Structure 1
Amino acid sequence: MAADEGKRRGLGRGLAALIGDEPTNTTGAGAPAAKISPNTVPIEFLRPNPFQPRRTFTADDLADLTASVAQKGVLQPIVVRPVSGATNSFEIVAGERRWRAAQAAKLDRVPVTVRDLTDAETLEIAIIENVQRADLNPIEEADGYDRLMDEFKYTQADVSKLIGKSRSHVANTLRLLTLPKKVRGFVASGDLTAGHARAIMGHDNAVALAKQIIADGLSVREAEALGKAPLADAPKGGGKSSAAKRPKDADTKSLERNITDALGLAVSIDHKGDKGGTLSVSYRTLEQLDEICRRLAHGKI
Structure 2
Amino acid sequence: MSAILVLGGTSWVGGQIVDEAVARGHDVTCLARGESGEAPPGATFVRADRADPGAYYEVRARSWDSVIDVSRQPGQVRSAVDALGGAAAHWTFVSTGSVYADQSVPLTEDSPLLVPLAGEVGEPEQYGEGKVACELAVQELPRHLIVRAGLIGGPGDRSDRLGYYVSRFALAGDQPVLLPGVGSQPMQVIDVRDLARWVVLAAEDGVAGTMHAVGQHTTVGEIGQVSAEVAGFRGDRVLAEEPWLHAHDVEEWMGPRSLPLWLPASHHGMGMMDDARALAHGLERRPVAETVRDTLIDERARGLDRPRQAGLDRADELALIAELRP
TM-score under structure 2 length normalisation = 0.27
**Greater Rg over alpha carbons, structure:** 1
Q: Which gives a bigger RCO, structure 1 or 2 (Cα 8 Å, sep 6+)?
A: 2
Relative to its length, the structure with more strand (as a share) is: 2
